[in-house]
């Protein structure tokens, strides 16, 4: 059997079910490259799980998953992964391959930024449109999809969650400040005014950790705010319900004058 077990959003983010399933497995793998759990190291995780762990690099999973599939055909293999498994689409090919070979698959869910963004900001999950990831600018090619998704969501009054890309192995992560600069460059390039410098945005860092930060401010101001280490996300709110306005004031210290206008 192949078990995919979510580690959630912090050091103790694994569920009791995840812990039970990991402990009862013959071998436990862990990948820590698709996201960052603040403060989590392999040694700490060994302590939490109470078992020997085998760290997998990207190349082990993307090019060499044959060995893991083969092992899962013989005994119980667990793969621990940050957040909720399969939100990172990376691991779906592993699951599909196991299914094709008749190997049972079990997914143990845990918390993810996808739903936690709602408790962190107070913005209703029903008012979010499509989610998008802002990747690093490579070779000058701007990730224009992000701009188009935000524009499309805003046109129907919906909020956008922009996940900011990171790659632990390559050692980079996109900060809220960098993301805002990329958005500003895109706006200038597109010759449109979807954002404008006055637009209310919400920066969110390390959701689910004890030192998480949520701060709402104008686009032009938010980039000067110090959000600390990764992972970072950015929310562009659409039309706000009065309860969402109240929540942004309480949870995200939104400027009062800015909310009165929207």
Angle at 215 between CA 212 and CA 220, to 5 degrees: 135
Using the minimum distance from each CB to its own copies, give the nearer residue, 179 or 219. 179
Q: Which chain residues interact with its own copies by CB under 8 A?
A: 4, 6, 8-17, 19-20, 48, 83-87, 89, 92-93, 95-96, 99-100, 107, 109-112, 114-116, 118-120, 122, 124-133, 152, 156, 158, 207-208, 243, 246-247, 250-251
Using the minimum distance from each CB to its own copies, give the nearer residue, 93 or 197. 93
Least CB distance to its own copies at residue 165 (A): 13
The helix (run of H) or strand (run of E) holding residue 148 is helix 144-155
- Structure-token pair, residue 8: 């959630």
Using the minimum distance from each CB to its own copies, give the nearer residue, 155 or 197. 155
Least CB distance to its own copies at residue 193 (A): 22
DSSP 249-262: HHHS---HHHHHH-
Write out the E strands in 54-208: 54-56, 77-81, 105-108, 132-134, 160-164, 166-167, 172-173, 200-205
Least CB distance to its own copies at residue 31 (A): 15
Angle at 161 between CA 149 and CA 112, to 5 degrees: 135
Rounded to whole angstroms, how far apart are CA atoms 114 and 96?
Answer: 23
Using the minimum distance from each CB to its own copies, give the nearer residue, 59 or 100. 100
Least CB distance to its own copies at residue 220 (A): 27
């Amino acid at each position: 059997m192949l078990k995919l077990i979510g580690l959630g959003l912090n050091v103790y983010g694994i569920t009791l079910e995840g812990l039970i399933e990991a402990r009862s497995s013959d071998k436990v793998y862990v990948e820590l490259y698709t996201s960052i759990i603040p403060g989590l190291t392999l040694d700490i995780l060994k302590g939490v799980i109470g078992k020997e762990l085998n760290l997998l690099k990207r190349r082990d999973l993307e090019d060499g998953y044959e060995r893991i599939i083969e092992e899962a055909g013989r005994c119980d293999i667990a793969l621990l992964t940050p957040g909720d498994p399969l939100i990172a689409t990376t691991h779906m090919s592993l699951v599909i391959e196991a299914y094709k070979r008749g190997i049972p698959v079990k997914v143990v869910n845990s918390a993810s930024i996808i739903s936690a963004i709602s408790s962190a900001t107070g913005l209703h999950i029903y008012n979010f449109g499509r989610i998008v990831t802002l990747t690093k600018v490579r070779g000058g090619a701007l990730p224009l999809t992000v701009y188009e998704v935000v524009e499309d969501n805003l046109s129907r009054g919906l909020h956008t969650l922009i996940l900011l890309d990171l790659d632990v192995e390559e050692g980079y992560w996109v900060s809220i400040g960098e993301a805002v600069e990329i958005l500003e460059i895109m706006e200038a390039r597109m010759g449109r005014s979807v954002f404008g410098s006055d637009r209310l945005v919400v920066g969110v860092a390390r959701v689910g950790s004890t030192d998480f930060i949520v701060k709402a401010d104008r686009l032009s101001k938010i980039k000067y705010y110090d959000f600390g280490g990764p992972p970072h996300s950015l929310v562009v709110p659409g039309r706000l319900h009065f309860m969402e306005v109240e929540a942004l004031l309480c949870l995200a210290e939104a400027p009062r004058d800015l909310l009165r206008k929207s």
